[in-house]
Structure 1
Amino acid sequence: MTPAFWCIIISFLINYLLAAIGGWLTVRQTGRFDINQPRIQERELTGAAARVQAAQANGWEVTPVFACCVFIAHFADVPPEQSTLPAYLFVISRVLYMVCYACKLSPWRTIVFAVGLVACAWLIRMAVISTP
């Protein structure tokens, strides 16, 4: 399995890590975790708990985009050693995004998110170039 494919798995694991942290922060803020109505409880969160939940939601939205970009590059026969750097860049951007979101660093969060999108575009660009 190529490093880019491992990065897809890592991206999903980051989302699960955010879910765990978000659950812990939810219990810390509210004293319980409402397993029957977690979405309703989530809407009532504030502060770091709300930001971590939002970062997790964003992760679930952007990870499939990244996965599709990796697959497109793979099916376009982009050599794995070329797709590794943008894949690593995406994963690093997700970790930094998580930190920026949780710590309320809004301008940096936007910049880091854009870096992740650039990594996805980089993979697509390599696929376009390698296709005859």
Structure 2
Amino acid sequence: MSLPLWCLLITALLPFWLAFWSSSVRRREFGHLDNHHPRQQYAQMTGKGARLWAAQSNAWEALALFTAGIVAMQTSGGGGRLADIACVVFVLARIGHGLCYAMDLATLRSSLFVVSFLAVLSLFMTALL
């Protein structure tokens, strides 16, 4: 499997990692997990739990754009070293983004969002070249 596809796999797993992390925070905050109405319980969370829930939602959104970039790059025959670098930068920025959400580092989180967005644009550029 190519490096971009490994990066896609890691990116696809990030929302699940954030979900498990937010579930552990949810259990600590409420004393139990409401598996009958989990979204209602998540909506009541505050602080770190609420930020992790938001990070998970954002990770799903980022996955869609990254997937489109990978598909565009792969189907156009593009790629190479620039695509590999863009993919690794994207994954590292998205991991950092989730961590910054949890630690309430809003400015750094926003900066990492921009870095990951530029990495995806780079993938689309490799598809055009």
Contact persistence 1:3–1:80 (CA under 8 A): no
Question: 1:12, 1:123 → 2: CA distance?
Answer: 17
Please say if 1:76 is aligned against 2:76: yes
What is residue 125 of structure 1 aligned with on the other side?
125
TM-score normalised over the length of structure 1: 0.94
Question: 1:79, 1:118 → 2: CA distance?
Answer: 16
**What do residues 43-71 of structure 1 show as CA deviations (whole Å, max 9, x unaligned)?**
10001111111100100111111011011
Contact persistence 2:79–2:126 (CA under 8 A): no
Shift of residue 83, structure 1, vs aligned partner = 1.4
What is residue 113 of structure 1 aligned with on the other side?
113
What is residue 22 of structure 1 aligned with on the other side?
22
Contact persistence 1:4–1:83 (CA under 8 A): yes
What is residue 65 of structure 1 aligned with on the other side?
65
Question: 2:120, 2:76 → 1: CA distance?
Answer: 14
Question: 1:14, 1:57 → 2: CA distance?
Answer: 11
**What do residues 66-105 of structure 1 show as CA deviations (whole Å, max 9, x unaligned)?**
0110110011111343311100000000111011111111
Q: What is the RMSD computed on CA atoms of the aligned residues?
A: 0.9
Moved over 2 A (4+): 79-82
The answer for unaligned runs of 5 or more in structure 1 is none
TM-score normalised over the length of structure 2: 0.96
What is residue 31 of structure 1 aligned with on the other side?
31
Contact persistence 2:93–2:116 (CA under 8 A): yes
